[in-house]
């Protein structure tokens, strides 16, 4: 009786989890199979059959459209997310290290300001950034998207936690006694020890920039500067009038999410470190 | 310390005192962030505040084009007096009423299930649930909108075959459609946060509860949940702030033909349309400031009501 009960609850637990997993995976499976179908099967809603397999055609359409503008968008996304995340994590880790390892007047007040920045909704900030860019004439340039990407107060918050966790004060003291200057100690000892945290902040910011839609939407009007999200949105808007855009949106979406999914699967440890550092104490 | 025995000069003698040196170092390390923080956060917010106080008026005969004049809180009065802007907050309220219980409740239940000894293949489930978070919000919205579209979707076809007719784009269908997209993206993210917090719970407490005769349900709700309270508050806070920013999903829905979503459906869409459809920057700035204020007020309420200890410190 007891073992029967246990078997029942064990099945119930795993069935519920399985249903949740089907819910989260189904749209992705749909995306993969839809991207391999020709327009006829896609528009017929018949994406799970083996008929009409035409990934090569979809890819060549994607490449050919407007001289491969899709790959230009891809490059732009890599530039915004890569350069933005690299700069952001350097700046954040330096600030987080300073907040953790040094004592100076007004430190906690300054840190409270950073925390206030965490709570400022990013979309509520995007329009003010746009209005400022109009005033300074930087609207519709790479800088308009790149400079805001360098700032993430949450990165500083995380870095302070990581600095406290990864860099023992004794090591820094030893470096000082050996005569290393403060900045040199940060660069060659601190930064190296906090590297796992650095990677976490980098990954977080990379995804945040890659996923950002509102800021490029308000800032950019030149199609050559678009990141992927904005380009795909543009194509989707055309698809209402011209359904031949649907296969391009779907195939383009699949290519756009592939590197992120690979990064998520291979770098799980870092994601979890970042997620949990903020919540578990 | 271990370095005491070494026969080296204990510290490099410099003209600078060690206090000055650390101050200099701290300043150097903090400067890049705070310069960028100022340029990309403080100045735009300040500029939006400033801009929100001005409005464009046609000059007398309209010969000189519009002039920018100081208008005090006029833009705020315009925004708050506008039915469309106020309605946006009602839409958000309806959205939160549906979204928050589903999200928080769902994530807690799944995390508690993962945390039981009965769950199998935990790594797989965590990854599967978390994966949608890797999908950019815009692409997630596009995928789901295609799954809602009758000609494209195997789901709609299957539902119709089963005798269920549901129009995801109708005025009743819009809110559930959008809630589902957000739920899909964030559910696993929050499950992972809760699960990690549950894993950090001291196992001896759970054993003590078992010895005292508490069942699985009792342990889950009376022991585990109170212990992950700080995670709950954080997730609630970020979910509420995120909800307030609702924009991408309804924007795409609003562009569909025959959609029930107007171009000012949420407060963010209102601000966007003020800037780009009406070219009224003063109004757009005022609307943005009001949204940020609403977020600040909500954060305050959430943290106050949950009566948390002092602000998180590492």
pLDDT of residue B5: 42
Does residue B150 share a domain with residue B255?
yes
Closest CA to B239 of B117, B33, B92: B92
In a domain, B56, yes or no: no
Does residue B300 share a domain with residue B249?
yes
Does residue B125 share a domain with residue B45?
no
In a domain, B174, yes or no: yes
Phi/psi of residue A181, each to 5°?
Answer: -70, 165
pLDDT > 50? residue B314:
no
Confirm or reject contact between B238 and chain A (CB < 8 A).
Answer: no
pLDDT > 80? residue A194:
yes
Highest mean pLDDT among B18-22, B131-135, B202-206: B131-135
Which domain covers residue B39, as residue numbers? 16-51
pLDDT of residue A49: 63
At which residue do the structure tokens 């784009």 appear?
B169
Confirm or reject contact between B291 and chain A (CB < 8 A).
Answer: yes
SS3 at position A15: helix
B141 or B314, which is more confident: B141
B194 to chain A, closest Cα gap in Å: 9
> B295: pLDDT confidence band, cut at 50, 70 and 90?
confident
Q: At what angle are helices A122-136 and A142-149 packed, to 10 degrees?
A: 140
Residues 6+ apart with CB under 8 A from A43: A243, A246, B151, B152
pLDDT of residue B220: 83
* pLDDT tens by residue, A205-236: 998 898 889 999 999 999 999 999 999 999 99
Instruction: Retrieve residue B219's tokens.
Output: 């342990």
Phi/psi of residue B67, each to 5°?
Answer: -110, 150
> A4: pLDDT confidence band, cut at 50, 70 and 90?
low
Average of pLDDT values for B126-149? 91
Confirm or reject contact between B297 and chain A (CB < 8 A).
Answer: no
Does residue B248 share a domain with residue B198?
yes
Average of pLDDT values for A16-42? 87
Contact list in A for residue B34 (CB cut-off 8 A) is: 95, 110
Measured CA angle at B177 (ends B238, B289), to 5 deg: 40
Residue of A nearest to B235 (CA): A279
SS3 at position B65: coil
pLDDT > 90? residue B282:
yes
Which CATH code of 1.10.3720.10, 3.40.50.300, 1.10.10.10, 2.60.40.1180 fits the domain covering A60-277? 1.10.3720.10
Q: Please, which residues 76-105 of chain B have a Cβ atom closer than 8 Å to chain A?
A: none
Average of pLDDT values for B143-159? 83
For an interface test with A, the pick among B1, B21, B32, B36 (most A C-beta atoms closer than 10 Å) comes out as B36
pLDDT > 70? residue B13:
no
CB B56 within 8 A of CB B234: no
SS3 at position A278: coil
Q: Please, which residues 262-281 of chain B have a Cβ atom closer than 8 Å to chain A?
A: 268, 271-272, 275-276, 281
In a domain, B117, yes or no: yes
Nearest to A151 among B25, B36, B152 (CB): B36
pLDDT of residue A3: 59
> B61: pLDDT confidence band, cut at 50, 70 and 90?
low
Contact list in A for residue B51 (CB cut-off 8 A) is: 131
Average of pLDDT values for A71-85? 95
Looking only at the bridges linking them, the beta strands covering B66-70 and B54-58 are antiparallel
pLDDT of residue B2: 43
In a domain, B234, yes or no: yes
**How far apart are alpha carbons B286 and B52 in whole angstroms?**
5
Does residue B154 share a domain with residue B294?
yes
For an interface test with B, the pick among A18, A30, A45, A254 (most B C-beta atoms closer than 10 Å) comes out as A45
Does residue B157 share a domain with residue B294?
yes
Please indicate whether, in this complex, the C-beta atoms of A177 and B23 are within 8 angstroms of each other. Answer: no
Does residue B37 share a domain with residue B89?
no
pLDDT > 60? residue B289:
yes
Q: What's the CATH code of the domain at B253?
A: 1.10.3720.10
B253 to chain A, closest Cα gap in Å: 11
Average of pLDDT values for B17-39? 89
Does residue B278 share a domain with residue B189?
yes
Contact list in B for residue A281 (CB cut-off 8 A) is: 230, 312
At which residue do the structure tokens 């735009």 appear?
B44
CB B118 within 8 A of CB B111: no
- The per-residue pLDDT of chain A, averaged, comes to 86
Does residue B102 share a domain with residue B45?
no
> B169: pLDDT confidence band, cut at 50, 70 and 90?
confident
Residues 6+ apart with CB under 8 A from B103: B182, B183, B186, B187, B190, B239
Closest CA to A236 of B224, B254, B299: B254
**How far apart are alpha carbons B177 and B163 in whole angstroms?**
19
pLDDT of residue B16: 65
In a domain, B312, yes or no: no
> B310: pLDDT confidence band, cut at 50, 70 and 90?
very low
Buried b or exposed e, range B140-156, using 16+ CB within 10 angstroms = bbbbbbbbbbeebbbbb
pLDDT of residue B68: 81
pLDDT of residue A16: 92
Contact list in A for residue B29 (CB cut-off 8 A) is: 94-95, 97-98, 183, 186
Confirm or reject contact between B220 and chain A (CB < 8 A).
Answer: no
Burial classification of residue A255, based on how many CB atoms lie within 10 Å of its CB (0-12 exposed, 13-18 middle, 19 or more buried):
middle
- The per-residue pLDDT of chain B, averaged, comes to 84
Residue of B nearest to A274 (CA): B193
Residue of B nearest to A240 (CA): B256
3-state secondary structure A63-90: HHHHHCHHHHHHHHHHHHHHHHHHHHHH
A178 or A160, which is more confident: A160
pLDDT > 80? residue A271:
no
pLDDT of residue B180: 95
> B215: pLDDT confidence band, cut at 50, 70 and 90?
confident
pLDDT of residue B59: 64
Please indicate whether, in this complex, the C-beta atoms of B40 and A27 are within 8 angstroms of each other. Answer: no
**How far apart are alpha carbons B121 and B108 in whole angstroms?**
18
Average of pLDDT values for B286-295? 92
Does residue B42 share a domain with residue B88?
no
Average of pLDDT values for B17-37? 89
Report ipTM for this prediction.
Answer: 0.86
Torsion sign (Cα): B226, B227, B228, B229 = positive
pLDDT > 70? residue B60:
no
A68 to chain B, closest Cα gap in Å: 20
Question: 3-state DSSP: chain A helix, strand, coil percent, rounded to 5?
Answer: 80, 0, 20
pLDDT > 80? residue B6:
no
B70 beta partners? B54
pLDDT > 70? residue A182:
yes
pLDDT > 90? residue B258:
no
Closest CA to A166 of A139, A137, A190, A200: A190
Please indicate whether, in this complex, the C-beta atoms of A21 and B128 are within 8 angstroms of each other. Answer: yes
In a domain, B127, yes or no: yes
**How far apart are alpha carbons A150 and B37 in whole angstroms?**
9
Where is average pLDDT lowest: A225-234, B136-145, B180-189, B236-245?
B236-245
Confirm or reject contact between B45 and chain A (CB < 8 A).
Answer: yes
pLDDT of residue A280: 40
CB A123 within 8 A of CB A219: no
Residue B65 Rama label (left phi>0; alpha psi -120 to 50; beta): left
Contact list in B for residue A210 (CB cut-off 8 A) is: 136
Residue A52 Rama label (left phi>0; alpha psi -120 to 50; beta): left
* pLDDT tens by residue, A31-61: 988 888 776 666 665 666 666 667 778 888 8
B69 or B268, which is more confident: B268
How many structural domains compose chain B?
2
Residue of A nearest to B282 (CA): A131
Express as a percent the part of chain B with pLDDT over 70: 89
Average of pLDDT values for A93-122? 90
pLDDT of residue A40: 65
State the DSSP code for B224. Answer: I
Does residue B223 share a domain with residue B155?
yes
> A7: pLDDT confidence band, cut at 50, 70 and 90?
confident
- Tally A–B CB contacts below 8 A: 293
pLDDT of residue B70: 87
State the DSSP code for B312. Answer: P
Please indicate whether, in this complex, the C-beta atoms of B41 and A278 are within 8 angstroms of each other. Answer: no
Q: At what angle are helices A69-101 and A153-166 packed, to 10 degrees?
A: 50
pLDDT of residue B9: 46
């Amino acid at each position: 009786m007891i073992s029967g009960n246990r078997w029942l609850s064990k099945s119930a637990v795993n069935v519920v989890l399985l249903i949740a997993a089907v819910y989260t995976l189904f749209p992705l499976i749909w995306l993969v199979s839809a991207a391999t179908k020709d327009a006829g099967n896609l528009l017929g809603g018949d994406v799970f059959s083996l008929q009409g397999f035409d990934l090569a055609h979809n890819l060549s359409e994607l490449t050919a459209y407007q001289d491969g503008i899709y790959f230009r968008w891809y490059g732009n996304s890599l530039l915004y997310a890569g350069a933005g995340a690299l700069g952001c994590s350097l700046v954040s880790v330096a600030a987080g290290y300073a907040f953790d390892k040094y004592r100076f007047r007004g430190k906690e007040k300054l840190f409270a300001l950073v925390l206030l920045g965490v709570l400022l909704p990013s979309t509520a900030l995007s329009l003010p950034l746009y209005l400022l860019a109009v005033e300074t004439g930087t609207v519709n340039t790479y800088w308009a998207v790149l400079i805001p990407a360098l700032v993430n107060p949450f990165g500083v918050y995380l870095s302070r936690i990581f600095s406290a966790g990864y860099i023992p004060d004794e090591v820094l003291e030893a470096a000082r006694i050996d005569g290393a200057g403060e900045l040199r100690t940060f660069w060659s000892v601190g930064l190296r020890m906090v590297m796992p945290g650095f990677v976490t902040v980098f990954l977080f910011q990379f995804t945040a920039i890659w996923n950002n839609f509102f800021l490029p939407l308000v800032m950019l009007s030149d199609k050559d500067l678009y990141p992927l999200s904005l380009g795909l949105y543009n194509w989707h808007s055309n698809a209402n009038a011209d359904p031949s855009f649907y296969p391009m949106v779907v195939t383009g979406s699949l290519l756009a999410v592939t590197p992120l999914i690979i990064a998520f699967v291979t770098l799980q440890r870092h994601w979890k470190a970042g997620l949990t550092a903020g919540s578990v104490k | 310390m271990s370095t005491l025995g070494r026969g080296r000069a204990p510290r490099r003698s410099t003209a600078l005192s060690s206090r000055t040196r650390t101050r200099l170092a701290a300043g150097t390390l903090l400067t890049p962030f705070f310069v960028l923080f100022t340029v990309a956060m403080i100045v735009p917010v300040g500029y939006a505040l400033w801009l929100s106080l001005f409005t464009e008026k046609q000059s007398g005969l309209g010969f000189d084009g519009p002039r920018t004049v100081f208008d005090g809180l006029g833009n705020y009065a315009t925004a708050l007096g506008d039915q469309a802007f106020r309605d946006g907050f009602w839409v958000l309220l309806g959205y939160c009423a549906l979204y928050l219980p589903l999200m928080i409740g769902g994530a807690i239940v799944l995390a508690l299930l993962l945390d039981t000894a009965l769950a199998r293949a935990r790594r797989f489930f965590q990854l599967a649930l978390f994966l949608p978070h890797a999908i950019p919000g815009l692409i997630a919205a596009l995928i789901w909108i295609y799954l809602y579209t009758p000609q494209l979707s195997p789901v709609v076809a299957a539902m119709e075959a089963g005798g269920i007719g549901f129009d995801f784009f109708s005025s009743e269908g819009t809110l559930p459609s959008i809630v589902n997209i957000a739920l899909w993206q964030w559910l696993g993210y929050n499950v992972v946060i809760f699960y990690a917090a549950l894993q950090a719970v001291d196992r001896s407490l759970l054993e003590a509860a078992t010895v005292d005769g508490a069942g699985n349900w009792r342990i889950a709700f009376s022991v585990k949940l109170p212990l992950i309270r700080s995670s709950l508050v954080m997730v609630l806070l970020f979910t509420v702030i995120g909800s307030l920013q609702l924009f991408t999903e309804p924007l795409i829905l609003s562009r569909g033909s025959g959609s029930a979503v107007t171009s000012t459906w949420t407060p963010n869409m209102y601000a966007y349309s003020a800037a780009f459809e009406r070219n009224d920057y003063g109004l757009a700035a005022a609307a943005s400031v009001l949204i940020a204020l609403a977020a600040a007020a909500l954060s305050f309420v959430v943290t106050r009501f949950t009566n948390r200890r002092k602000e998180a410190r590492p």
